[in-house]
Chains A and B, each alone.
Chain A
């Protein structure tokens, strides 16, 4: 019996030794967005169309902008919706318009609104001076 227990303990010890220590470093405790690891490049015309939902909003706008949705159509039209917080109030804003690329990576949304547009697999990132939003494609055109 003692031999069996000793064998079992030895097996456990050996098995445990095979498991590498898995302590989270104190500097790595904060959550890092996976979007930062994506390989981004300037968007081209064929990259824009689709239905998108935001996965990350950064910059000063993040204090007011909680969620963004965009539906970019092949024919150059688009519709967008944003959940905006003003104080304790939340409300969706919607808009429609026409989009175009003035150059690779330069998205125009009408009325002089322009943003830097970058793409990664299934993702679109729009950046302006006030912040950036990372959108995940949830439906192809």
Chain B
């Protein structure tokens, strides 16, 4: 009985507990309000990373601006220094240019004095100790550039004293037609040759391998002219290799390497100082294959537009006079004994020389 009673009490208690729980839940649900909201933004939650990053960027920008200003100032200072250095250098260059101009002017003055001394020495030498020795061959000329002007210019003009050409300062080079002067042959502008006749055809032999120098007063060419024209005998070119070989054999160029004309006189001079031309007969010795013969060479001399002296002439010789037998083959092909020698020379004035005496007779003491 008691047991049943306990079971009933237990069930009642359980039901009561459940009912009480629901009742409590109902009461609480009416009295309690749950609110869910964003957390408040206040500094109490610690440092903000975004804000820190923005602050860093701002700081870097400030630094960048400051650095840029600093660099700008530095570059401006460097530019100013460079400008100052450049100005200083230009100033020194101008100073050097002025010094150079002064030195050039001084040099021109010294050259003028030297010319005066040379002329005085020349005049003194002409009076005191005239020389009759042959003109030595000129030293090797620098390769003279070939000029285009072939025809003489009767009135060549010269640059004035101290004239400039392409920034170079040139002395006065007005050509003095009168007065004894030395002329140096220009191989690049000169040619000598011969014209030969044969039973088959006529031909020429030419060469520019020559050298030489002349001394003459063009206004008075009879007064002791002298000089030499030397030709390399093996260089004569006829345009046919076999014929050249035969020519070299005929002239024996292995032994006699040079053909030479030694100038010693001038006759029948026709001088035109206004036109700067001379015609006449040059006399001298012609040496071929070791044999020298006196010859008379009619020549025409002129001063061209480039202040060069052109000398043209020709003469007829006989090979037999020089002990040379005219070459031939089998009696069928035969070169004529008589041939024409010619020259077309151009020379450059190398400076004044001592005047040749008017008379060569010995002076007797009285």
A positions within 8 Å CB-CB of B: 5, 8-9, 12-13, 16-17, 19-24, 26, 29-36, 54-68, 80, 82-89, 93, 95, 97, 109-111, 113, 115, 126, 128, 130-131, 133-134
Contact = CB atoms under 8 A, between A and B. Distances in A.
A57 B193 CA distance: 25
B129 interface: no
B171 A64 contact: yes
19 contacts: A5-B330, A12-B330, A12-B333, A16-B200, A17-B201, A22-B204, A29-B191, A29-B312, A29-B342, A30-B344, A31-B191, A33-B147, A34-B146, A56-B146, A57-B147, A62-B308, A64-B173, A67-B142, A134-B145
When A and B form their complex, which 10 residue pairs have the shortest distance between CB atoms, in order from nearest? A63-B307, A88-B351, A63-B173, A16-B200, A62-B306, A33-B146, A86-B171, A64-B173, A29-B344, A56-B145
A86 to B, nearest CB: 4
Contacts of B204: 22-24
B166 A133 contact: yes
Given A31-B191, A82-B168, A130-B163, A87 B118 contact: yes
Contact of B344 (A17, A31, A62): A31
Interface stretch (B34-42, B153-161, B256-264, B356-364): B153-161
Given A65-B170, A87-B351, A35 B239 contact: no
Interface of B: 111, 114-115, 118, 142, 144-150, 156-159, 163-171, 173, 175, 188-191, 193, 195, 198, 200-204, 206, 208, 238-240, 305-308, 310, 312, 314, 329-333, 342, 344, 346, 348-352
Majority-rule SS of A interface residues? mixed
A19 B188 CA distance: 28
Contact of A83 (B114, B142, B166, B348): B142
A137 to B, nearest CB: 15
A87 B114 contact: yes
A88 B115 CA distance: 9
Contacts of B333: 12-13, 16
